[in-house]
Amino acid sequence: MSDHREAVEHVGGTTLSFTYVWVSLLVLTGIEVFLAYEQLPTLIMLTALLGLSVIKAALIIAYFMHLKFEKFSLFLTLFPMLVLCILLMMIFMPDSIRALTMRVVQ
């Protein structure tokens, strides 16, 4: 085992797959810009835009940042904690809507 060297061959996407991801990201961006000009209620718009952004982020992390091809333990070490912390920050969000309705209209 001591003389064993890890294979240097890196598994990853191909040029074509990267181009597909890039095109998908551009299309998703186009959909976001289109949605911005639809007359949607603020909260629905926020949810839709955030949902699309999360998909875009996942594509970038999985393919461009190569995480799809890394050991699953790396993902488990990094991301559940990040998601949990972000969700904890969201605990304040309902207050923002409440503050709006409680404000005295002048």
Partner 1 sequence: MSEAEAVAVESVWQGGTSPYSIGSKKFGMWLFIISDALTFSALLMAYTYLRLSTPNWPKPFIFVPSIVFSSVMTFCLLSSSLTMVMAVHAMNHGNRSATVKWILATMVFGLGFVGLHLTEWLNLINNEHVTPFNNEWGVPLFGGTFFALTGLHMTHVIIGVIYLGIIAFAVGRGKFKYEDVEVSGLYWHFVDLVWMFIFPLVYLMSARL
CB atoms closer than 10 angstroms to residue 82? 9
CB atoms closer than 10 angstroms to residue 63? 20
Number of amino acids touching partner 1 (CB under 8 A):
53
37 near partner 1, rule: CB under 8 A: yes
104 near partner 1, rule: CB under 8 A: no
For tokens 């923002």, the residue is 96
**Contacts (Cβ under 8 Å, ≥6 apart) of 74:** 67
5 near partner 1, rule: CB under 8 A: no
103 near partner 1, rule: CB under 8 A: yes
Q: How does DSSP assign 74-85, residue by residue?
A: HHHHHHHHHHHH
d(CA 90, CA 81): 14
99 near partner 1, rule: CB under 8 A: yes
Give the interface with partner 1 as residue ranges (CB under 8 A): 1, 6, 10, 12-13, 15, 18-19, 22, 25-26, 29, 32-33, 35-37, 39, 42, 45-46, 49-50, 52-53, 56-57, 60-61, 63-66, 70-71, 73-74, 77-78, 81-82, 85-86, 89-90, 92-93, 95-97, 99-100, 103
